[in-house]
Structure 1
Amino acid sequence: MPELIDFQDAFVAALTGDRPALSPWLTDGDHPGLAVYRNTIAKGCVDALADNFPTALSMVGEDWFRAAAALFAREAPPASAALLDYGEAFPGWLERFPPAAELPYLAGIAHLDRLWIEALFAPEAPALSAQALSSLSPETLAQTPLSPHPSVRFAAFDAGLPSLWRAAREGREDLEISETPETLLLVRRDGAVTHRVVGAAETAFLRACRQGLTAGEAAQAAAMADPETPFASPFATLIADGVFVAPL
């Protein structure tokens, strides 16, 4: 059994390029059969990245994306056999990838694709309902921290990258990026990930809640971010979206 484990470890090492790893078992150097396994693994990694970053793929085309994905897979092979969420480091890698320098939006697009994957596979938790919220007095609510649902993800940008991402994700042809700052909010409800662009007040409220502040403190942050817009309606929309977890 120890020898079998040693062989399995050596075989995995050989697949990642460590040719001497199998020398105790192979005397003729790098066996050509290993190339078949390596190519199969490489294709699996590239296919997984294409599935996990479909919006980024649609922005650059199949050939460009797969060539970049193959390079990434060599540098950052998967840490487990499950490839459903492979590519956590891919957006950051694109920021440093020289051919992507002419595509300054691409890393951000990939980052939003990644947030969608994280929202999809986040743990389950019951969402805070409007009915449960109505049972709290205004004073109690103001002193209560509202914890974001485990699936909640949001990202703020200095330009309209979220709208660009949504347009590309939906297959629209009007792929233009505005200079207006935007925040994308994602949350999973009933097994499906929903997303929408939210304003400055909602963004400030969500950030405060993520920091563990009370609802009252988060409301103050929202009012400071957008003093001219009453927050009652956006707050009701956040509750309807299932953005907060129900207290135990």
Structure 2
Amino acid sequence: MPVEAALHAARVRYGPLEALHGVDLSFPSSAVTVLLGRNGAGRTSVLHALAGVVRLSGGRVVWRGRDVTGLSMHQRVRLGMALVPAERAVFGSLTVAEHLQLGGPGRDAALELFPELTALLARPAGSLSGGQQQLVAIARALAAQPALLLLDEPERGLAPAVAARLHARLLAGDTTVVLTAQELPRTLARAAVVHVLHRGEVSFSGEPAELSAAAGAGSGSAGPGPSLR
């Protein structure tokens, strides 16, 4: 499977603390990759390293065969990358309609996917609930039709039916998607790859079915299965 982006021996530091300890990760093209792990495992740091939110203290970021380690976040956005953070993902003073206009040519498709936003178009995003703001941020990113879409816990605050609709859209599309979750949703069982992070290191990489099999084997034997901690 062709690789869209990759981290090579990537290290991320926040002051004296190292969040990623030289990880190697690859993300297949036109497919969904899920990063699993509990809070503090390093999932968000992987997304931020890919997006250029944080600078690597070691290693490289490669996107479409090009070393983009030295590019800023804004430069990566212009090349077709979009990040939806888990929090503070909207501009409070802008309306929902203005957010979608910022997104770009996929505005109508985003509204078709999320018809819940139609009645909210005239409202400032800052007046919406947390779940509604998350929906606006995701819709704006989808409207931009990015080549690489990074989603940090996109299901947070969303109704299960809406999250399932989003997952179906991501799996059916041709965009390369990397998203984080604490547990693998059933609606993402057809994801291409799952990476499990534990304390800044990769403890498992494989297909969702392999993760389930390995976890089952670990629970039935003395040896540990893949850690989600």
Q: Do both proteins adopt the same fold according to a TM-score greater than 0.5, normalized to the shorter chain?
A: no
TM-score of Structure 1 vs Structure 2, range by shorter chain: under 0.3
Greater fraction helix: 1
Q: State the TM-score, normalizing by the size of structure 2.
A: 0.26
Structure showing greater radius of gyration is: 1
Between 1 and 2, higher relative CO (CA 8 Å, sep ≥ 6) is seen in 2
Q: State the TM-score, normalizing by the size of structure 1.
A: 0.25
